[in-house]
Structure 1
Amino acid sequence: MKYYAVAALALAISVSSCKKNDQEEQNQQQVEVVDNGAKNEQEIKDYLAKNNLKAEKTDSGLYYIVTEQGTGATPTAESSVTVAYKGYFTDGKVFDESGAEGISFGLNQVIPGWTEGIQKFKVGGKGVLLIPSSIGYGDETKGPIPGGSVLLFDINLIAAQ
């Protein structure tokens, strides 16, 4: 009988210990969720102020600056476009660049900030897109782009079909 009491006690301690370890493991696995919306908004406003820039803002949180209006067609979300661009962060660090000849793609195949932003230009138009992470790459790191990043793009809309 004594053996069973000791075994039961050992089992209870073991189960309690496992539950404690499971809880500790869950706590370690929980990732802190950061609301990047307000952080991104402030980062964009600070960038604009520091560089003495005036931008338009859409309901999605996209900021854009049209520096040259362009005279050609205005693309739609379903258009195929050719765009020369330079992508960089608010600190000026470049993460991607197309070159002067640009690249071609469907506007429905890119991040939402591009789909919306490129439609603010006419062919021949140039400007800047300031894209919060919510309409960029979100909270996940993608290659050289850390999760939660504000993305800036110098844009030259070469063609739209």
Structure 2
Amino acid sequence: MKKMFILAIVPFLFIGCIKSTSSTTNCTNVTPAAEEAQIIAYCNANGITYTKDPSGIYYQILELGTLPHPTLSSTITTNYVGKLLNGVIVDQSSAPFTSSLNQLIAGWQIGIQLIGKGGHIKMVVPSSLAYGCYGAPPTIAPNSLLYFDITLVNVQ
């Protein structure tokens, strides 16, 4: 069921990208810099010893995993939980989830490449690298920051 949620969102991401370039829309992505204070506060409150990626993602690698690390063209298998910063779970794997990395949100594309098979990462993803100003209704509101706890089970 949760896999279907993510798979259903992938086409929406592409539509969202098209809409965001239209001059007739009022949708504006929030910049990662504008969300930085909120991300840092969340990390500090939740014991995340973070590193800031230049993209704006904040992450903590709990287990680096083995080499090689995945690339955008890799097929990955993960166990994960995704939450809003208020703690509401928006998605989680009930069984290992497999997808091509290049089909997932930008935050995952950036963060997953930092670990290898067996790796474990916590990430706080700025809204513009998640579902942006369109969100993923009804679960994820526009401009929502997301927290992910991900274990990379396999890389192909």
TM category, shorter: 0.7 to 0.9
Cα offset for 1:36?
5.0
Q: TM-score, normalised by structure 2?
A: 0.77
Tell whether the 8 Å contact from 2:59 to 2:121 is kept in structure 1 after alignment: yes
Match runs of 1:78-117 below 5 Å: 78-99=73-94, 101-117=95-111
**Aligned position for 1:142:** 136
Deviations 1:87-140 (A, max 9, x none): 0011111010012x3111011101111111110111001121110011111111
- Paired AA for residue 133 in structure 1: S
Match runs of 1:5-20 below 5 Å: none
**Aligned position for 1:46:** 41
Give aligned pairs, total: 132
Distance 2:149 2:68 in 1: 19
**1:160–1:146 Cα change, 3 Å:** same
Cα offset for 1:73?
2.8
Distance 1:119 1:80 in 2: 12
Match runs of 1:63-78 below 5 Å: 63-78=58-73
Q: TM-score, normalised by structure 1?
A: 0.74
Pair member with larger Rg? 1
Tell whether the 8 Å contact from 2:85 to 2:146 is kept in structure 1 after alignment: yes
**1:66–1:82 Cα change, 3 Å:** same
Tell whether the 8 Å contact from 2:27 to 2:134 is kept in structure 1 after alignment: no
**Aligned position for 1:131:** 125
Residue 119 of structure 1, aligned match among 113, 124, 128: 113
Please report the RMSD computed on the Cα atoms of aligned residues, expressed in angstroms.
2.0
- Paired AA for residue 95 in structure 1: V
Tell whether the 8 Å contact from 1:90 to 1:150 is kept in structure 2 after alignment: yes
Match runs of 1:20-31 below 5 Å: none
Distance 1:74 1:40 in 2: 28
Cα offset for 1:32?
8.4
Residue 152 of structure 2, aligned match among 136, 154, 157: 157
